[in-house]
Chain A
Amino acid sequence: MATIDEVKAAEGSDEAPQYKVIGTRPIRHDGADKVTGRALYGADIKIKGMIFGAILRSPHAHANIKSIDTSKAEAFPGVRAVVTSADLPEPGDKIAELGEGAVVLNHLSSNNLARTKVLYKGHAVAAVAADNLHTAQEAASLIEVEYEVLPPVMDVLKAMEDSAPVLNPDVRTEEASTGEKGDKPTNVAKHIVFEKGDIEKGFADAKYVIEREFRTSTVHQGYIEPHVATVLWNNDGQITVWTPTQGTFSVRSQMAELLHVPLARVKVVPAEIGGGFGGKISVYLAPAAAVLSRKAGVPVQIVMDRADVLQATGPTPGSFIRIKMGVDADGRLTAAEAWMAYEAGGYPGSPIGAGAMCVFSCYDIPNGRVEGYDVCVNKPRTNAYRAPGATNAAFATETVVDELCEKLGMEPVEFRLLNASKEGTRRIDGVTYPRIGLVETLEAIKNSEHYKTPLTGPNQGRGIGSGFWFNAGLKSAVTATVNSDGSVGLLEGSTDIGGSRTAIAMQFAEALGLAAEDIKPAVVDTDSVGYTDVTGGSRVTYATGWAAYEAAQDLKRQIVTRAAELWDVDPAQVSYEDGSVIGPAKSMTFKEIAVELSTEGEPLVARGVSNHNEPGGAFGTHLVDVEVDPDTGKVDILRYTAAQDCGTAIHPAYVEGQIQGGAVQGIGWGLNEEYWYDETGSMRNANFLDYRIPTCYDLPMIDAIIVEVPNPGHPYGVRGVGEVPIVPPPAALEAAIHNAVGVRMYELPMSPPRVLHELLKKES
């Protein structure tokens, strides 16, 4: 596990590394607080006078709300406020842009407090604030809701049938590219089509054609910290929200839109965040806490328990996918076709668009067609989860690719090298790739010790899978303040999930010739830094790092100008190089000039912003060895290696951590994780004992190979890292299971009962 410079150094190369700070592994700035338990997460926030909230949730998966009687709860001793959807402003039919996507406000508002219908078990219906949590919970149980229970629809294909119960009367099927809408209510919210070339000719040219159907289950992000919101709606109309979130500015926008207040009246203060992976962007508690606070006149804190998190926040969708692919006798892909239906949950908005764009993204295919559907079912409204939509798609495509390799008698890695997307490859959706590194990840796997080491025992198998994710750019801002001793405070709006404080500070330090330790990064509230989009889309090291780079350039310009004034020379004669400002007669280090300028003139404050969108895209290829117990169907992972094109690894340890973490989540998705619903639409495994995420006891060390193909669209070549490693694991595991015991798995998770079922079917 090493970067290019680290490998060169280890081999005794005397070639100077390209960077001084980038590529090193400094101790993270927030490390001590986090390992000593001093960091303040959402539930650690205590505000003077704070009371506690509880949410009443629907016991039904699908029902009309006929009436809500809160009188008994309001009369309960210790209760300070009770709210329902009637306390939220009528959202109308507005669609709001919230940075990383558009949101139908009526749906967002109703998801926070149901208006006329409940659309999944756990849907919030009312909220109570009281002097303590137990009182709030007891009072919430006294709220009387009269429901008209409706039949739920839990399966994506059944939900598409004309006879299916319709969840949202306002939803019509929208053709994504034309905007045309159907004329009757339906669960099918969106239809997407991509086409390239001549699909019929492509399949006619194929020697082998394989068509398979796949299903994947609803899966949760599984962040350890539950959702928390603490809100004060002050008497002067100012609203302050303390919450662990991936996007403080997104929370501010959602609150302003849902509560009909100006943006400037909402301040969002980020708590440390115990994992998000896309699931901590939407608001679930803060609007209810706000209106409770307005009624009670004091701050209100609401904390979810694990069952709430699983049943009432946004998991990633279950899906049905049909894939058909053809190859010629030489193993070249001639055509590919996909039909994909993703569950949106209660309200529209599954990641079908991304899934449809990713499904064949690893391959150069001359002829193709992709059709996708966004479908409402009686499950919680889905939300982003690490490379949203891509893992489902890759599982299906890569499994068919593995079967094609078997037909052709071709090594899967050689097949992929022959057909891999490269710079200039045109995807089925029409876009061509810039410089990308898929081939390099395949070669890294092919050259790895793992690949060269044979398996040793019975029921063992090896599998390979590749995956792609776009990454994002979007907007970021940072402010740098130079202290009188030459240290620098760096204010940023990107909440730090994976060590981004340090990765951003390192880019700032690199640009100024300073050490990472000279910089003190701080994630601050929405009143204290410029607008910054969410920590999502693998964008923070890329985009906020770029903003930090720009702030460093701003600072250099100021230092040059001020030094020229100080030395009474023409600014053109002064330059900033390698950590020093240099004039015709003298030079000073950054620290020396900072000390000097602190006593002369105005303070040194710099700003940097970015809104670039050349994130480069990221590819990963994973290799896994498994052993399958033929008596139980349990799959044990023996060895796992993940190679990923990371552009330039700013902090290699964090990059490795992202690759390892993503791979582990993909393994959980592949082998164990699923929402288990009964026929009434009730989730029966809403806890971490029964919803089984992998732990360190289940896994070997994940070997991460950092492949560096610098992104030409960034000053330091950064690509997003965080999302793509979740994409290949289920497909790689499927291939490994097949090679171990000879059965094909077309449904996730590939849990022991499912594997055993296939083994028994094979034997019989």
Chain B
Amino acid sequence: MPRLFIPPLLRPYCEGKEEVIVEGATVLEAVQSLDQQYSGVMERLCPEGKLRAGMSVTVDQNVTPRGLAQKVSPESEIHFLPAIGGG
């Protein structure tokens, strides 16, 4: 089952947990699974099912260009981090 890491400022909405085991074959499904466990989290993490501007998704060590559509495996780690740009 994928592990979704909870950003610190969202942890109060997830009983203080640093990570939550979720279900799903994509990042979006994983977030929906998280929202089923902790209602309202999805609206904060990705309102209207979209990645907020300025945020990125990292799956298994790499920022994914596919965002919420990125496929995840049962062993995957999912992180939501600030999007960064290089020079």
Contact = CB atoms under 8 A, between A and B. Distances in A.
A277 interface: yes
Given A100-B85, A388-B87, A472-B86, A177 B80 contact: yes
Contacts of A177: 7-10, 45, 55, 80
Contacts of B83: 101-102, 353
Given A177-B9, A194-B8, A429 B81 contact: yes
Given A176-B54, A179-B47, A474-B65, A193 B84 contact: no
B87 A536 contact: yes
Nearest to B13: A178
Contacts of A195: 8, 18
Interface string B30-73: 00000000000000110100001111001001111100000000
A538 interface: yes
A354 interface: yes
B79 A471 contact: no
Contact of B82 (A192, A277, A469, A471): A192
A352 B82 CA distance: 9
A177 B5 CA distance: 12
A760 interface: no
Nearest to B47: A179
Which of B65, B82, B87 gathers the greatest number of chain A CB atoms within 10 Å?
Answer: B87
Given A193-B9, A388-B84, A537-B86, 4 more contacts: A432-B61, A471-B86, A472-B86, A473-B65
A539 interface: yes
Given A429-B79, A433-B61, A179 B86 contact: no
Interface residues of A, number: 58
A388 B52 contact: no
Contact of B62 (A356, A475, A539, A613): A613
Given A430-B79, A433-B61, A178 B9 contact: yes
A739 interface: no
Interface of A: 95, 97, 100-102, 175-180, 190, 192-195, 221, 276-279, 281, 351-354, 356-357, 384-389, 429-434, 469-475, 536-539, 611, 613-615, 713, 720, 723
A386 B87 CA distance: 4
A351 B84 contact: yes
B29 interface: no
The 4 A-B pairs of least Cβ separation, nearest first, read A278-B87, A537-B86, A353-B82, A177-B7
Given A95-B53, A193-B7, A193-B8, A384 B79 contact: no
A97 B61 CA distance: 23
Interface of B: 5, 7-10, 18, 44-45, 47, 52-55, 58, 61-65, 77, 79-87
A615 B86 CA distance: 12
A100 B8 contact: no
A215 B87 CA distance: 22
A89 to B, nearest CB: 20
A384 B87 contact: yes
A677 to B, nearest CB: 23
Contacts of B5: 430
Contacts of A469: 86
Contacts of A433: 61
A175 B45 CA distance: 11
Contacts of B81: 353, 357, 429-431
A278 B45 CA distance: 29
8 contacts: A101-B83, A102-B83, A277-B87, A279-B87, A384-B87, A431-B61, A536-B85, A537-B87
A179 B82 CA distance: 11
A384 B44 contact: no
Nearest to A369: B8
Nearest to A277: B87
Nearest to A246: B87
B65 A475 contact: yes
A102 B53 contact: yes
Contacts, number: 128
A713 B84 CA distance: 20
A56 to B, nearest CB: 29
A194 B7 CA distance: 7
Given A430-B79, A613-B63, A470 B9 contact: no
B81 to A, nearest CB: 6
Contacts of A281: 85
A438 B46 CA distance: 34
Contacts of A537: 85-87
A614 B9 contact: no
A614 B62 contact: yes
B38 to A, nearest CB: 13
B44 A179 contact: yes
A353 B65 contact: no
B87 A176 contact: no
A101 B65 contact: no
Contacts of A386: 87
A432 B84 contact: no
Contact of B86 (A97, A352, A388, A430): A388
Contacts of A276: 87
A194 B58 CA distance: 15
A536 B82 contact: no
B51 to A, nearest CB: 10
Nearest to B86: A537
A194 B10 CA distance: 11
A100 B86 contact: yes
Given A102-B53, A178-B7, A432-B77, A387 B65 contact: no
A8 B84 CA distance: 38
A351 B86 CA distance: 9
B10 A178 contact: yes
Contacts of B45: 177-179
Contacts of A536: 85-87
Nearest to B52: A179
B9 A175 contact: yes
A389 B84 CA distance: 10
Given A431-B58, A613-B62, A353 B84 contact: yes
Contacts of A194: 7-8
Contacts of A475: 65
A385 B87 contact: yes
Contacts of A389: 84
A356 B87 contact: no
Contacts of A614: 61-62
B69 to A, nearest CB: 12
A535 to B, nearest CB: 10
B37 to A, nearest CB: 17
A277 B86 CA distance: 9
B56 to A, nearest CB: 9
Contacts of B54: 101-102, 176, 190, 353
Contacts of A353: 54, 81-84
Contacts of B18: 195
A177 B80 CA distance: 7
A29 to B, nearest CB: 24
Nearest to A434: B61
